[in-house]
Amino acid sequence: MVQQVSCNDCSLSSICLPMAVSSSQLGELEEIMERGRPLKKGEHLYRAGDNFVAVHAVRTGAVKTYALAEDGTEQVTGFYLPGEILGMEGINEECHHSSAKALDGATVCEIPFSRLEDLSQRIPTLQHHILSLMSKELCADRAMHLLLGKKSADDRLAAFLLALSARHQRRGLSASRFRLPMSRYDIANYLGLAVETVSRIFTRFQQQGILEVEGREVVIRDRDALSANGRIQVQSA
């Protein structure tokens, strides 16, 4: 039932793992990964506590990762779009520390980690790419730390939308018009805000002509104004 599409035929190959290996070595990578595993909306890719055996590349759809606080409340820790790799937080301890769940439907490629490690041992560019990927996640986490620690609700939502926009563009899609794969609840949760706050800001951004919003469809009409959130914290005196 799993579609055995070659990485070569995948539109994401240029931004996904294959970008790190030469075409002659691609076969080795393809050999270890299981491609095209389909997930229904809400289905788990893995749960916190599961044995860590593989990292995953999103092929279609979107996936969110989340952790549960001691009191059972959920904290969304990330959203993953096509071409992006998730699950690397499990390497240490060999079990997952968060859960991953499909938003809408999704398909993912599964890459057994121990075999990926072996392969990295033989392919320096692959080793470097994996370190690089993790480093990029660290950078994103630091940016998130700043966002949550210092920025207003407006700034957080603006930054979130701009980041999504950039990730769409990376895939060759429109940077100014896209569909949010996640609910307002997930956005709010991710940004450390209440749903109501997020909803109000969407409304206000629309009134200000910064966005056009219709449900989960978003059009960025004034990118500069959106970027201004967060930049002009204090008008230089």
Interface residue list for a copy of itself (CB under 8 A): 67, 69-71, 73, 75, 77, 88-93, 97-98, 117, 120-121, 124, 127-128, 130-139, 141-146, 148-151, 189-192, 230-234
154 binds, among DNA, a copy of itself, none (CB under 5 to 8 A by kind): DNA
Of 16-24, 28-36, 78-86, 150-158, the segment contacting DNA by CB under 7 A is 150-158
Q: For residue 85, what are the β-bridge partners?
A: 57
Task: Tell me whether residue 25 or residue 206 sits nearer to DNA (CB atom).
Answer: 206
**Residue 230 contacts residue 155 (beta carbons within 8 Å):** yes
Contacts of 5 (CB under 8 A, 6+ apart): 35, 36
Does 153 help bind DNA (rule: CB under 7 A)?
yes
51 binds, among DNA, a copy of itself, none (CB under 5 to 8 A by kind): none
Task: Tell me whether residue 3 or residue 132 sits nearer to a copy of itself (CB atom).
Answer: 132
Task: Tell me whether residue 115 or residue 184 sits nearer to DNA (CB atom).
Answer: 184
Q: Which positions from 173 to 212 touch DNA by CB under 7 A, shown as an x/- string? A: ----------xxx------xxxxxxxxx-xx---------
Look-up: residue for tokens 């393809």?
30
**Residue 91 contacts residue 53 (beta carbons within 8 Å):** no
Smallest gap, in angstroms, from Cβ of residue 213 to a copy of itself? 23
CB 226: neighbour CB atoms within 10 A? 21
List 37, 152, 171, 223, residue binding DNA (CB under 7 A):
152
Among residue numbers 107 through 146, which ones bind DNA (CB under 7 A)? Answer: none
Task: Tell me whether residue 142 or residue 204 sits nearer to DNA (CB atom).
Answer: 204
Task: Tell me whether residue 65 or residue 107 sits nearer to a copy of itself (CB atom).
Answer: 65
Look-up: residue for tokens 């960025």?
220
In the numeric block, which tokens belong to residue 10? 């995948």
Give all strands (DSSP E) within 92-199, no chain letters: 99-112, 177-179
Rounded Cα distance between 103 and 127, Å, is 30
Contacts of 135 (CB under 8 A, 6+ apart): none
Instruction: Please tell me the chain's helix, strand, coil percentages from 3-state DSSP, rounded to the nearest 5.
Output: 45, 25, 30
**Residue 119 contacts residue 126 (beta carbons within 8 Å):** yes
Smallest gap, in angstroms, from Cβ of residue 73 to a copy of itself? 6
Query: In the complex, which residues of this chain contact DNA (CB under 7 A)?
Result: 41, 152-154, 183-185, 192-200, 202-203, 213, 215-216
